Amino acid sequence: MNSESDNRLGVAPRRRIQSELADGSIVDDAIGEARIRLEGIEMTTIVVFVSEGAPTLLGAYTLEGALLVVDPVRQRLAPTHALRMGRAK
């Protein structure tokens, strides 16, 4: 989420974390929480505040929380089921 989006949506940074980029470098990022609707599922998720010009991405945390996976063949999101430890009843 860039500063233009966070101002428009009223999302505020809550704390700072370190993130590793694809090139292996470590950067400091601000994170917060936002209420979203994704494929008809409404939920609260973590958002990372990025600099202007950085791509807006949907992360693994949000996808897993919404029980969605990426279908690379059809280039869409597809529903999945939750995974948990233990035995079936």
With cut-offs at 50, 70 and 90, classify the pLDDT of residue 7.
Answer: low
DSSP calls for 69-80: EEETTTTEEEE-
The pair of structure tokens assigned to 2 is 């860039």
Could you list the residue range(s) of the whole structural domain that residue 59 is in? 3-79
Residue 58 CA neighbour count, 13 Å, CB half: 14
Find the mean pLDDT for residues 23-29.
Answer: 94
pTM of the entire structure? 0.71
Number of domains in the chain: 1
Condensed to tens digits (0 to 9), the pLDDT of residues 35-79 reads 999 888 899 999 998 888 888 888 899 999 999 999 999 999 999
Q: Does 89 map to a domain? A: no
Find the mean pLDDT for residues 6-13.
Answer: 73
Q: Does 26 map to a domain? A: yes
**Torsion over CA: 36, 8, 70, 61 (sign):** negative
Q: Does 87 map to a domain? A: no
User: For residues 47 and 14, is the Cβ–Cβ distance under 8 A?
Assistant: no
Q: Does 50 map to a domain? A: yes
Q: Does 69 map to a domain? A: yes
